[in-house]
Amino acid sequence: MLKKRIIPCLDVKNGRVVKGINFVDLKDAGDPVEQAKIYSDGGADEICFLDITASNENRDTIYEVVEKTSKKCFVPLTVGGGVRSVDDINKLLNCGADKVSINTAAVENSKVVVDSSKKFGSQCIVVAIDAKKNGEKWEVFTHGGRNNSGIDALEYAKKMEDSGAGELLVTSMDRDGTQVGYDIELMSEISSKVNIPLIASGGVGNLDHLVEGIKSGKASAVLAASIFHYGKYSVKEAKQYLESKGIPVRT
Amino acid sequence: MNVTIVDYKSGNISSVINSFKEVAENKVKIEVTSDVSKIKSTDKVVLPGQGSFKSCVDALQSINGLVDCLNDFAMNKKKPLLGICVGLQMFADVGYEESETKGLGWIPGKVTKIDNQNGKYKLPHIGWNQINIVKDSKIFKDIKDKSHMYFVHSYEFVPSDKNSISATTEYSSKHVCSVEKENIFGTQFHPEKSDKTGLKIINNFINL
């Protein structure tokens, strides 16, 4: 049986982890390789890097991070943040990323998704959707949640599937950082509409939220950041809890 | 000993290269090339594959002499070869992704889309699934039955001779996920992304 995945996400800025594990005796808390290795050794099913480097001149730092990490980390590595073009995707894949997540660029020009999935295969193209509730519907936001595109998130999700996305990484802007749980309605609506796997993100504060994301949100995978970084729970504990609730996990 | 990873410009093979280099630890030379003369003289070949069946077959054929060289290596010289993902799928006679495309024909069978039972199962089949070892394959030495492996695929290899199947996995039905026929090995899953168990399989292949 296919297992539900737990994916810790690390924020990387200028080649250093700025939001990551904050509790163990790290030799170097800013080292992405060391952090990724701790998670993969601890049973994480995949690792996600979100590059939040703001300035253009430091954009290349992520390539070095990916290259180093992929030499030491033998579970799938997804990299997102600032991916603009097929060329950017190509560079990340060549450095050792297994999947690349595309956000703003996919909203602005879905051809990036069409072209990259044709060129590299759908298996490595993740479309990240940042969605926020507006009345009865959810709208897609771009530029790290700053701009409202006004696009309906459900229709957009379907369009991305048709364009060749292999997975959708759906983040609720309303819930992100709140620790009150995923936006279950958003997750289940999108998951029911598409036939590709959905990764739920935004709002996890405890292990029951992970369970809800999978059971009610119909997510194939759950992404979380702070509950793991600050030592509230380990990936292993999360898996044991999911298993106790009847959710199949890799142990 | 030399292990050669065939780089035929189809998809991303850096994870495959990294994992083989990690396991080889400089004791075994890992070469990455599409140079036919080098492949001819190597001891073992790894055939990765990403993207569609058609795009991989097209890419193999676009390199002059490569298909003949691989045929000779696997079928006449009978040296060990490991196909990963679409690399395994290409062993088949024919594949149906994008359009009907002839495969290498090393293991009789076809590659068809996984039946998602009218949307009941998501595709691609992405993530960790357990393998049922059905044959005592050399690359499964010290690998426990029901071990977890990482999968990403929407198409599956359906061999006509069931004797070549070395492992299956359960998703929308029972899918073939590993084959062994004499010197030819293949995994639908990605050993290079399957953590320590995956590296062990790579180690087994290197030490054949």
Across all residues in chain A, what is the average pLDDT?
Answer: 94
Burial grade of A146 (CB within 10 A; 0-12, 13-18, 19 or more): exposed
The catalytic position among B97, B156, B180, B192 is: B192
Question: Nearest-CA residue of chain A relative to B97?
Answer: A121
pLDDT at B70 over 80: yes
Closest partner residue to A3 (CB to CB) among B50, B116, B128 is B128
Cβ-proximal residues to B87 (8 Å cutoff; 6+ apart), any chain: B46, B47, B48, B49, B56, B186
Cβ-proximal residues to A109 (8 Å cutoff; 6+ apart), any chain: none
One-letter amino acid of A99: K
Rounded to whole angstroms, the Cα distance separating B95 from B169 reads 20
Decide if B12 and A250 are in contact by the 8 Å CB cutoff.
no
Structure confidence by residue, pLDDT tens digits, B72-107: 999 999 999 999 999 999 999 999 998 999 999 999
Contact A66, B18 (CB under 8 A): no
pLDDT at A143 over 70: yes
Rounded to whole angstroms, the Cα distance separating B69 from A178 reads 58
Q: Which CATH superfamily is domain B2-206 in?
A: Class I glutamine amidotransferase (GATase) domain (3.40.50.880)
The label of the residue with tokens 């594949």 reads B95
Closest partner residue to B192 (CB to CB) among A40, A74, A124 is A74
Q: Please list every residue in chain A whose beta carbon sits closer than 8 Å to the beta carbon of residue B18.
A: 70-71, 74, 96
* Residue A147 pLDDT: 94
Third-level CATH fold of A5-244: TIM Barrel (3.20.20)
Contact A96, A71 (CB under 8 A): yes
| Å between B105 CA and nearest CA of chain A | 23
pTM of the model: 0.95
Structure confidence by residue, pLDDT tens digits, A184-218: 999 999 999 999 999 999 999 999 999 999 999 99
The reply to whether B175 belongs to the active site is no
Across A116-234, where does the E strand assignment appear?
125-134, 137-142, 147-152, 167-172, 198-201, 221-224
Average pLDDT over residues B57-86: 97
Structure confidence by residue, pLDDT tens digits, B139-153: 999 999 999 999 999
* Residue A154 pLDDT: 98
| Domain parsing of chain A, residue ranges | 5-244
* Residue A27 pLDDT: 67
Helix axes A184-193 and A207-215, enclosed angle (nearest 10):
30
Decide if A93 and B12 are in contact by the 8 Å CB cutoff.
yes
pLDDT at B206 over 90: yes
